[in-house]
Structure 1
Amino acid sequence: MRVGLTYDLRDDYRALGGFSETALAEFDSPETIDALAGALAANGCTVERIGHIRSLTQRLVAGERWDLVFNICEGIAGRNREAQVPALLEAYGIPYVFSDPLTLSVTLDKAVAKRLVREAGLPTAPFAVIESDADARNCTLPFPVFVKPLAEGTGKGCERASKANDRKALVAAARSLRARFNQPAIAETFLPGREFTVGIVGNGAAARIVAVMEILLLQNAEPEVYSFENKELCESRVEYRLADDAEARAAGDIALAAYRTLGCRDGGRLDLRSDANAVPQFLEVNPLAGLHPTHSDLPILAGLAGMDYQSLIGEILQAAKLRTGVAAQARRRRRIPA
């Protein structure tokens, strides 16, 4: 099966100039693309590296097509940036791995995702969207609150100052985030409990939990928050541990229900944190979870659960093949005589 691989490589954008290292944080390293291409090949695919959306556009216009595209493009601008490649592929009738444009747009905007999850009856912390200093001054959430950008990933904007203990700190933190990321901030009631991330593969009723992983910050980490800096330095600042007690199982159940509610496909990762009563609360979902084999949370938790990288990519690929009918089409083609 001929599989195209779409991705945003940090080095490509770094060469263009004008991008800070923070802006590049969600993009992929050559190690990730090499590992992913190798895992796809090991799962029987003929892999063609395409790259970012402009490369994809050029190749589509030139008439190139693929049986399936394994898409991990994050995009560079706007809250619909993750939806751009899937929308383009749909316009050309090419099936692809992972979620569709609607889900990718909905889940990148944390407030929209939380509203849908809340509407489904799932627990998520009270929140407010902060678009101005006035919004911050009028926020009715009890302190402390946690403030982060509305539509970012990889922990960008999550930092020591994100925990605001009073009105002055909230105004300052939200103002700083709006200026740096050119988007609204979201404030949530601060959750003091355990932090979990849940890996899921599959679709609909067949979707399953790979594992629930607890995130434990070491003494040298920024306290109380799985921040951008802690994530980047996770090898020395974070302990990852599988969790299977009642609270962790509840986190897994909530994550799986949210995954289905939001229409996630093929695989993803959801973040939760418990409140003061040890009740896990939905934080956000990453339907394009990082896939670096040793540095990204989904492969880390899969490895702790006994699933190697090749098998993880194989399960995601198989889920997409079944969903799109690509596997059946390939079988039919093999039966047609030359």
Structure 2
Amino acid sequence: MRYLILGAGAVGGTIGGRLHQAGHDVVLVARGPHLAALRADGLRLTTPDGVHRLPVPAIGGPDEIALTADDVLVLAVKTQHSAALLDRWAPRPVAGGGTAAERLPVVCAQNGVANERLALRRFARVYGMCVWLPSTHLEPGRVSAAGSPRSGMLHLGRFPHGADEFARRMSADLTASYFDAPVSADVMAWKYAKLLSNLGNALEAVAGPIDGELRERVWRRVKAEGEAVLAAAGIGYPSEEEQRAKRGDRVAQVPLAGERRGGGSSWQSLARGTGDIEADYLNGEVVLLGRLHGVPTPLNEALQRLAAAFAREGRPAGSLPDAELAALAAG
């Protein structure tokens, strides 16, 4: 199989880079200065076992490659970019007949729970991937992955449910490429569990690390709102104990020499000045479910709005004053 990584940032760059290191056929899809750096110097992937310069082929879009039936599309962009990217790839012809939408699998290696539905509107074969992968992308051409002894844990399964031969084949490739990749017939349950932990992304992005009494108090309330809406919606997910037991000591985040993680994916969006952020599909998912099921979600709604304003206005990551955060919590 050839893996086309649609979005070669922190997650996509790590998955693509590790697959390439293990000898698999990989193409990275990127844009702008990141694409230019990948084409000029390859992918610089920093991991606990060193700094790797990887000559992974990189392209800017579907018009630069001829698709075959052995291709796998791995969607690794933020959710706000998913629909436009899927629309570019769906109508592309595949050797032997048919289109990408008809013949190729799409694997959603993303936070949130909306991507799979977006993909299934366009593609016949869609797979969810729950990504536990501590990684950072702040500079063009450079990605760091701090997981050890495995780079990440990637639960994989068919959407909306099920496990099949493709999932098992991809799991085997990932397992041989520095990941744990359990195949799950109910992968979305794992993604809803991850959604709860991702509700802190916007808080970290605007207010900095979640430590100290104020931030921890806000985080507990944000998460409690998420748990309440999932309960009201009848959505089940593995407990924190089950998640910890599954991860064990397989994906511990370790310091990387010369590298600074800084923060999670939303923090990185603000730090890079991308102009957008994924809060609409993390905290916003909780807000949506709350409105559907009559559960109030004031803090998630406030963080959704605030994170969007930070991205739109170019405010620095982690710069929300404590006084404003306290007022937010009191509102």
If the length of structure 2 is used for normalisation, what is the TM-score?
0.30
The higher radius of gyration belongs to 1
Structure number with higher relative contact order (C-alpha < 8 Å, ≥ 6 residues apart): 1
Q: From the two aligned structures, give the one with the greater helix fraction.
A: 2
If the length of structure 1 is used for normalisation, what is the TM-score?
0.30
